[in-house]
Chain A
């Protein structure tokens, strides 16, 4: 009886140990690997998205600065923005065809 209990306990511990090892390796080989590949792919994708992100960020700043939607700002406000942030303004003008 004692031998059966000991065998059962050892088997259970072995099963748990194996399960933990399997999950650990799975996360290393699976998730980490996918992350690595994604980081490389992400670089390529981000290059394509960066222009849109810049325009969105600049628009958000205009919205916060003047408390209104970018398309509703006046000529004077746009001039003010352009004086303070010339590169962004120039980029926005080109991108939006202003």
Chain B
């Protein structure tokens, strides 16, 4: 019979410990390296939101140091790389769309409505990439906002 109170005590200790750690973790009271590790792990999984969230928690209640600054630069570089890739794709698509004034392609498109579907598809793709860049710029803003 003494098993039940002991078991209940262990159970409540386990639950309180878990809840306490969760709360400390959410409020940024865990060691800085925990959040930096989590931010880098999130970045590796392509989770930029998670990376920025954990980076900001690493700064909460603490002064920035070399490691947080390096983490900020790493996330910033990851954002820059993604933006650059999208810009390159936009340039390639615009190149594909281009038709010089004196080319057959230009006049075929102009007079006979050639490749209209293709142009529409390219425009949609460009719009999608521009939206992606906008999202990444917003993330950069979040990254650089003071905590």
Contacts and interface: CB of A to CB of B under 8 A. Distances in A.
Interface of A: 25, 28-29, 32-33, 35-37, 39-40, 42-43, 46-47, 49-50, 53-54, 56-58, 60-61, 64-65, 84-88, 91
A54 B67 contact: yes
Contact of B37 (A32, A36, A53, A58): A53
User: Which of under 10, 10 to 19, 20 to 34, or 35 or more describes the interface residues of B?
Assistant: 20 to 34
Interface of B: 7, 10-11, 13-15, 17-18, 21, 25, 30-31, 33-34, 36-38, 40-41, 43-44, 66-67, 69-71, 73-74, 76-78, 80-81, 84
A93 B23 CA distance: 37
Chain A interface SS verdict (over half): helix
A91 B78 CA distance: 17
B33 A50 contact: yes
Contact of A46 (B25, B37, B69): B37
A49 B33 CA distance: 9
Contact of B14 (A32, A47, A65): A32
